[in-house]
Structures are given as structure tokens and as C-alpha cells.
Structure 1
Amino acid sequence: MVTKNVLMTILHKILESIDEGVHVIDGNGFTILYNKAMAELEGMTIEEVMGQKFLNMFPDLDSESSTLLNVLKTEKPILNQSQVYLNKQKKRITTINSTIPLYYDDEIIGAVEIARNITKIKELSDEIMRLQQSLTNPVSTQKKNKITFYTFESLKGSSPNFLKALRMAQKAAKSSSSVLVFGETGTGKELFVQGIHYDSERKSQPFIAQNCAAFPESLLEGILFGTSKGSFTGAIDRPGIFEQANGGTILLDEINSMGKNLQAKLLRVLQEGYVRRVGGLKDIPVDVRIIATTNEAPEDLLYHNIIRKDLFYRLNVINIVIPPLRERKEDIELLANYFIEKHNSILNKCIQRIEKGCMEAFLQYGWPGNIRELENAIEGAMNLTLSEDELSKEDFPEYLFRETEKNFAEKQNSLHFDVGEGMPLNELVEKIEFTYIKKALATTNGNISQAAKKLGIKRQTLQHKIKKIRV
């Protein structure tokens, strides 16, 4: 039987191991639980708060301004409320708090507040909003000219499924309807979106991209729609990106990460054409084109109820599907050469090509990170290579070639010979040699350098022999 003391010990261990701050008061307003995370947030110690009356420790608060006391009085929970305050050490802190009443036998006996420290995230969101304001300011033309932007000419490829997506994007540029772009991570969704914007009638107006997964919902709402002074502690009058992008285009990246409550507010903006700042009363008309992206298949978003159906159909007026790199392998060599040329300029190199064996391996590799992974691999190789004109296998990470070596090993499993077959000696020697190579690769998990060492030959010699086997 687990005793009450054991349960309390377990509870305290749990409270001390979590990152969220926890503060519990009883029905008379005395602190009965206060963990280390909350003490660090508020710049206090557990010892000075435990057992003390709440208002004695926080004299600047009252039953209205304190969420704990308010919940204790009203018995109504307050969920996901943003708070900005100076702690005891005069450090500005931003938290998202949920405060709920505690009951025993249907009688309220206290309240608990759980606080998540988002100070650094809030500082980042403020900086992003400040930068976005400066970039959409007409007088900042010099800054705007330095921003990297992409057009359809920036998109490289010739595979049929890629060209289909490109044609859809070009048609979308002639419209002002909402667009939903689906593509796996690294397929170049933002390039397509910028291509649409900069080929549209809105190209001279602002383009603002916002990642919906970057911030908690309460902060993202302020970023999108702006804030009014007094809407919450520390709030100031500031326009959101809908106002900043008026007349232009907003990219809502990873729309599948947006919470349902915020989805409802976004839907209202799309339907009614105006925004209301957080805590504000004034409706502000906006003319903004929305292009949303997702790395999850649209049908999955609906099936798993990740996105509201009414919002989905509002966004999915034009649907563009960007194929993953594994489904457009005829573009791999073209893209690789493009990235070589790009990074030759950046790194002051003169690389001309990729070794044939490397390119064959690239065609077999699955590229889960898509075009971004390919570019990163080439950039890394160009930083590491000692060659002046060619990238070879040793310049790239080994994992890119495991699939090729696995296929080679499987292919050679059927290799056999019989002395009694009467085959010419040179063919017999080749078969024996290939068998030993196969075994060496198998015992080294396809590592060519280690296999060459086992065979007592140079790595380049082994590579040459492997190429002959493939042929």
C-alpha cells in the first residue's frame, strides 16, 4: 500500500523535474506547493514562498489582477493566458499561464497555476515584428533591395511532375485566390510561393513569410493580427503582419501547426477582409493574399482533423503539389551542377563536375531531405575537397553511398564459379577476385576504405574494380 507520505514524495520529485513553473495555493490563499522552476521565474526561493499568504509575497497584486486569486474567487479556469511582468530581481519575464481551480468532494480547496517561460521566444517574436515593420516601410528601399527573393527562373528542373507543379504556380500568379502548397520538407515550397508573388500584380507590394510552428498560439495571434495597448500586461499598440502586408502576400508556412482557435480567427479574416488587433475594438480592413504551405498531405490534414474543414476549403482554392526529389531523379544531376556553380562563386572554387560513381549513387539514394539535403551535401563536399575540379566519394558523407554498396553486395551474392567449367583463366581469376571483393565489402558494411585495407590494395584501385563489376 502506497502511503500518503510516499505519494507526496513522488509528487515533489515530479514537480522538481519539470520545466514548467507550478504554484498551488489553498482556499485561504496560502502557498502549499511551489516548485523550483516557478521560483527561478519569479526570482524568489521556495523557502520564502512556501506557507506564506499569497498577497504578502506579491503585494502589487490583488484578487482581480492575480490569476490564482481570481480563479479561487470565480472558480473559473483561465487557460493559456500570456503575462508579462518584472520579477523580484527586476527581470522582464513573459509566460503563458494556465490556472485552474482545485476541488475535493465538489468543494473548492485551492487553485494551481502552471507557467511556461517564453521570454526568449517573446523577444524573438518582437524582433521579427520590428524587422518586418522596417522592411515594409516605404523609406527602407535600400534595405528592401538587399533582401533575397526568388522568381520562377530560380526553380530548376525538367521532370514532368516538377513541370506540372511549375505550370500550376504560374497560373496561380495570374489570380488573387488563396493557394495551398503541399511538399515534403526541403522541396522548395517557399521558392514556389515567392515565384507566385513576384510574378503577380502584387509584386511591388510586401511579401511576408511567417512560420506557424515557430511560436505558441498566443504569441502567433499577436504577430498575425497585432496588439493593442493594455490587451495584456506589457502589450503595446503594434500592427500585425496582416496590416504590414496590406496589398501584398502573406505566406503562412506549416499551416498544419496552427492551433484550432487561431484557425477560426484566421478564417474570419479571410471571409470578412478585416483584422482586429488582440485586445482591440477597431476593425481594420486589409487586402492580403494568403498562400499556405504544409508538409503533410492535404487529405491527412482533413482525416486527422488537424485543420478545420472550412479553413481548408477556403485556403485550398488552388492546390499545388511539389514532388519530392526521389520522384524526379532525372533532375538530380541538373540540380547538382546548379549548386556546384552557385557555391563555386560563394567559396571561390572552380569545381567542374561530380565523379561518375558519386552521381550513380545519388540516383539510388532516397534524399529524405530533398533538394535542401542535396545542396547541403554538395556545399559540404566543396568545403572539404582537396581536388581543384572534381568532387569524389571521399568528399561526401558515407551514408549517401550505403544504398549503392548494399545493392552491389546483393548483386554479387549470386557470384559463383566452378573450376571444372573449363572457363578461360583470366575469367576465373576475375570471378575469384570479385568474390573476395564482395566478402571484404560485406565484412566492412560496405566501407570501401576498410575493405581496401583488408584486401591489401589502394582505395582508388578498389573503386576501379567495383566500377568494372557494376558494368
Structure 2
Amino acid sequence: MGVGVAVVDGEGICRFMNTIQRRVDGFSRISVVGRHITSLYVPHELECIPTIECLRKGEPILKKAYWYKTTNNYLASTVTDFIPLYDAGRKDGVIAFTIWTGTTAFAEGRKRQPRPPQPKGAAYDFYTFDSIVGQDANLREVIAEARTAAATSSPVMIWGESGTGKEVFAQAIHSESDRRQRPFIPVNCAAIPENLLEGILFGTVKGAYTDAADKPGLFEEADGGTLLFDELNSMPLGLQAKLLRVLQEKRVRRLGSHTEVPVDVRIMSILNEEPLQAVEHGVLRRDLFYRLAVVGISVPPLRERRNDIPLLARMFIDRSELATRPGGPGTVGVNDDVLHMFMHYDWPGNIRELLHVVEGSLALLGDGPEICPACLPRHFREACHATGSTPATVSDIVTQAPTLPAPAAAAGETGDAGLYYDYRNIRKSHVVPLKGCLQKYETQCISNVLRVTGGNVAKAARIMQVTGAGLRYKMKALDISDED
């Protein structure tokens, strides 16, 4: 790749950086000359930036093999020589010669150093298209469309049910694009309060509001890379209008600032419903849909590619530490009865639910050689028994209520639909307080909807037509956890 060269003066200001060094550090699209070295590189927790260390000590640092992170959220591994510069006996700066070593964190002949945590922006953190398991024809067609989209910088909109692997597709597209060495930053629009989301996206300047500081937003941090909006249909409509302007102008203005900063960001978005339905429901602006759905990818649910279920189950077993624990049975198989249940279950939670069922089964397996029906999580067995082989819909699940034994009608009384009962003949075992009935019914309804949404309380609240705060209050009162 060549040698990167950078020069800083005695004050720590960058005065020169060649093309190779700029590419290694991810600064190809921004100006670095005139900026202080601490505004370009993030110091390690236990040591300062080597350039500053060389400048302070006035001694060369040779063959420095280390990981470092830039303020552009880029992780690099290099071997670098730092040499102090003098003018008439006075320290005048530092020149650095860098050789990029990719993902190797140490130089030949030096002691291996522990590898630091990998940030989300590192290219080797991403899923690739090889990570997507399945032979279904529809899935392979979707993968082919995504591969084609990866060769462009056009906005991509991905939609599908919860748990189908939409972010896996997004990461795979980024990892195969020309931006793979640049940041990939996901933001969950449903998890961030509305009053904070704008500042997080666009950045702030000091004085914009109480305790506001000069801080870049995610658009600036993702410059040259990819910004992923998860659950875009949860973004407030007013903020969607501001987002549309940023996409059209390709410039962003921090909160409280009067100047705009140019950004080069590829936008990908994820929805948990059909985008046109989101437009009709009034949660997604139509003009924003046209702007972001240049390439549209619909990820099929697991029930539409049932032939991939054995492959996925086998993959989850092979990757699980529970299947390879010391003293375990070795290679774990799947009982034919369990496989039959897997193939006929509706999988409302899709691949994520299959993963959790496999993990739960392995945890209950003990020393057995294969997953059997008795090893399956109780909630899964009950769901299979309730639904059978008939695909369940959200409305079917919501209306499944606990049933109570019906008291017998009094002799000689034939009211409509048995409305008249002889309550003197009802046994005590049939008497259930009304409050207990309602609590049991509410608990089952809420639990079933949460299972459908994969624990997404915001989506469950929309399905049940209540506010998110109201649903959480009810869950707390009924002792329901979204992690159950």
C-alpha cells in the first residue's frame, strides 16, 4: 500500500498528510491541515497519542505497532516511526512514517499485544452475504438484489417482520460496498426520545440549550460511510421533514448553529411494516418514502421459507457454546418430532425466535444426544399446541382468551345462549372473581402480542391501540416483562 507520511508542528498542528496516510485514517474527504492532532485521533485509555508523546520527549519512537482510533470512528492498525524535528536545537515538530497492517495489531518480532475492543465502525465487525443462511428461491433473489444495490450509493429501504434479519442485510450491503472502510452507524428511531433524536442526528453547539456542548451529530460521524435508520416509521413526522432537507441538500446544520456542514452519507432505512402501509397509516411521509426507497428490499418471513428451518437450526446448534460444553453429548441432533414441530410452527418471531428456542432447548438438554419435545421451552410447546399447523395472525393471537367452565342452566330455564343460570347449583371450584378473570385475560393478550412483536413494546402498543406508557404501566401492574 505504500508509506503514509504526516507532519505536525511544535504546537501539535497538522501541517502535512499525504494521500496514503489520509486513506489509512479515513480522512480522504475532509481537510486535516491546520487541525490539532487531538481533534483527529482518539487517545488510548492508558497512553497519550504517540505523536504528542514524541513531541513532548523529543526522542524518536520506532516501530510502534498499535491500534488507534480516529475521531471519524475509524479503527486502524499500523507500524509507525515517530521522529522529532529540530530547528536550531529547538523542537519544531514530528514527522511520522506509517505502514498499514490491516487487522494485525502487532509487528513481526514484537510481543503480541491484546486486541482492543472493536467499534461498530470496523469493517470486520459486519455481517456479510455469506452470513445469510438459506436456499429458498425467494431469499436468494433478495440476496441478489441486495448485492446489486451494494455496488451503488443509492439509498436502500429494507422492510420485513421483526426477527427476519433486516439489519444483517443492511450490514452485508455496507460490507460489500465501496464504503466498507468507513463508519457504519445504526440508530434506532424508536428507542431515542423525540426531544433528543434531533440533536443526536444533527449535532449541537454550545448554548443551543441548557448544558449543550459542541458535539457532532451522527451525520457528521458517518461522513463517507453509512447511516442506518432502524424503525424509521417511529421517527416523528416533523423530524422526517428536516431529514428530507438534509438528504436533498447533503448539508447538515447543528442545533443552535448558523452554518452548514457538507456530508457524504449513504442512507439505509429499516421498517417493520410495508412502507406503503406506513404511508397510509400516516407514520411515514410520502416524499421521504420516495427519497429513501430508491432500492427496496423485502425480507421474507421464516414461515415463507420453511425449507430453510433445518439449515438454520443446525447452524444455531453448531455455533452455540451449550452444544460443545465439556462433558456434553458431542454433536447434538434434532428429534424428528421436534423437526416436525419446527416445520409446522408459524414462527411469528421469525429467525430470532428460532434462535431463542434452540438456545433454550440446549440449556434444558442435559446429557441427551438430541433435542426432544421435552427439552423445548414451555412457551413454545404451548404455542405449538394452540396454533397447530394453521398460520396464526395477530388478530388470532390477540383473541385467544382463557376459557372458564360454563355453569349448567337451571332446570326449566332456556334463555338465549344460556344466559340464565341457577347460581345456587354452581360449585365453588367454578367460581372465579371477575377481577382475576380480567387480569388473566389481559396478561395472556399482552404476552401474546409481545411474543408476536419480539418484545417490541412500542409496536405492541400500536397493535393494541394504547400508548406506550400505558402499556408499560399495565405490564408492570400485571408483572409482565418484555424479556419473557
Query: Shorter-chain TM-score category?
Result: 0.5 to 0.7
SS of 1:250 mapped into structure 2: strand
- Partners of 2:116 and 2:254 lie apart in 1 by 27
* Closer/same/farther in 2, CA of residues 143 and 242 from structure 1, 3 Å limit: farther
- Partners of 2:139 and 2:129 lie apart in 1 by 12
Aligned residue in 2 for 1:33: none
Aligned residue in 2 for 1:136: 73
The structural deviation recorded for 1:266 is 0.6
SS of 2:181 mapped into structure 1: coil
8 Å CA contact retained: 2:317, 2:323: no
2:206 to 229, 245, 257: 229
- Partners of 2:385 and 2:323 lie apart in 1 by 33
Offset from partner CA, 1:203-250 (integer Å, 9 cap, x none): 011101100001112201111111111000110000011111100001
* Closer/same/farther in 2, CA of residues 253 and 339 from structure 1, 3 Å limit: same
The structural deviation recorded for 1:389 is 2.6
Aligned residue in 1 for 2:136: 159
1:250 to 227, 231, 249: 227
| 1:216 to 2:196 alignment | no
Which segment drifts farther, 138-147 or 294-303?
Answer: 138-147
The structural deviation recorded for 1:143 is 4.5
Aligned residue in 2 for 1:330: 307
8 Å CA contact retained: 1:173, 1:197: yes
The structural deviation recorded for 1:401 is 3.7
Identity %, equivalent residues: 46
1:317 to 294, 305, 317: 294
Counterpart residue identity of residue 389, structure 1: P
TM-score in terms of structure 1 length: 0.56
- Partners of 2:388 and 2:211 lie apart in 1 by 64
* Closer/same/farther in 2, CA of residues 346 and 278 from structure 1, 3 Å limit: farther
* Closer/same/farther in 2, CA of residues 257 and 346 from structure 1, 3 Å limit: farther
8 Å CA contact retained: 2:72, 2:222: no
The structural deviation recorded for 1:338 is 0.4
SS of 1:341 mapped into structure 2: helix
- Partners of 2:377 and 2:260 lie apart in 1 by 55
| 1:358 to 2:295 alignment | no
Aligned residue runs from structure 1 range 54-65, under 5 A: none
Aligned residue in 2 for 1:443: none
Aligned residue in 2 for 1:201: 178
Which segment drifts farther, 315-324 or 341-350?
Answer: 341-350
8 Å CA contact retained: 1:224, 1:240: yes
Aligned residue in 1 for 2:377: 397
Offset from partner CA, 1:97-134 (integer Å, 9 cap, x none): xxxxxxxxxxxxxxxxxxxxxxxxxxxxxxxxxxx986
Greater helix share, structure number: 1
| 1:178 to 2:177 alignment | no
SS of 2:338 mapped into structure 1: helix
Counterpart residue identity of residue 180, structure 1: M
- Partners of 1:351 and 1:344 lie apart in 2 by 12
- Partners of 1:380 and 1:260 lie apart in 2 by 40
The structural deviation recorded for 1:158 is 0.8
8 Å CA contact retained: 1:351, 1:388: no
The structural deviation recorded for 1:398 is 3.3
1:385 to 365, 377, 388: 365
8 Å CA contact retained: 1:135, 1:144: no
Give structure 1 stretches of 5+ with no counterpart. 1-131, 411-471
SS of 2:359 mapped into structure 1: helix
TM-score in terms of structure 2 length: 0.54
8 Å CA contact retained: 2:345, 2:387: no
1:265 to 242, 245, 256: 242
Offset from partner CA, 1:385-419 (integer Å, 9 cap, x none): 11343111111123434566568899xxxxxxxxx
| 1:241 to 2:221 alignment | no
* Closer/same/farther in 2, CA of residues 218 and 388 from structure 1, 3 Å limit: same
The structural deviation recorded for 1:168 is 1.2
| 1:149 to 2:86 alignment | no
Which segment drifts farther, 198-207 or 397-406?
Answer: 397-406
Which segment drifts farther, 380-389 or 311-320?
Answer: 380-389
The structural deviation recorded for 1:344 is 3.8
8 Å CA contact retained: 1:364, 1:403: no
8 Å CA contact retained: 1:353, 1:389: yes
- Partners of 2:389 and 2:151 lie apart in 1 by 52
Offset from partner CA, 1:249-304 (integer Å, 9 cap, x none): 01100000000111011101110001001111110000000000000111211111
8 Å CA contact retained: 1:183, 1:323: yes
8 Å CA contact retained: 1:133, 1:244: no
The structural deviation recorded for 1:185 is 0.6
Aligned residue in 2 for 1:420: none
Counterpart residue identity of residue 181, structure 2: S
1:168 to 119, 122, 145: 145
Aligned residue runs from structure 1 range 23-172, under 5 A: 136-138=73-75, 143=116, 145=118, 148-172=125-149
Aligned residue runs from structure 1 range 4-23, under 5 A: none
- Partners of 1:382 and 1:133 lie apart in 2 by 42
SS of 2:261 mapped into structure 1: strand
* Closer/same/farther in 2, CA of residues 265 and 146 from structure 1, 3 Å limit: closer
SS of 1:333 mapped into structure 2: helix
Which structure would you say has the larger Rg?
1
The structural deviation recorded for 1:378 is 0.6
8 Å CA contact retained: 1:344, 1:351: no
8 Å CA contact retained: 2:322, 2:362: no
- Partners of 2:233 and 2:312 lie apart in 1 by 29
* Closer/same/farther in 2, CA of residues 210 and 328 from structure 1, 3 Å limit: same
Q: Matched residue pairs, number?
A: 279
* Closer/same/farther in 2, CA of residues 139 and 154 from structure 1, 3 Å limit: closer
- Partners of 1:143 and 1:177 lie apart in 2 by 33
Counterpart residue identity of residue 369, structure 1: G
Give structure 2 stretches of 5+ with no counterpart. 1-68, 78-102, 104-114, 391-484
8 Å CA contact retained: 1:254, 1:295: yes
SS of 2:182 mapped into structure 1: coil
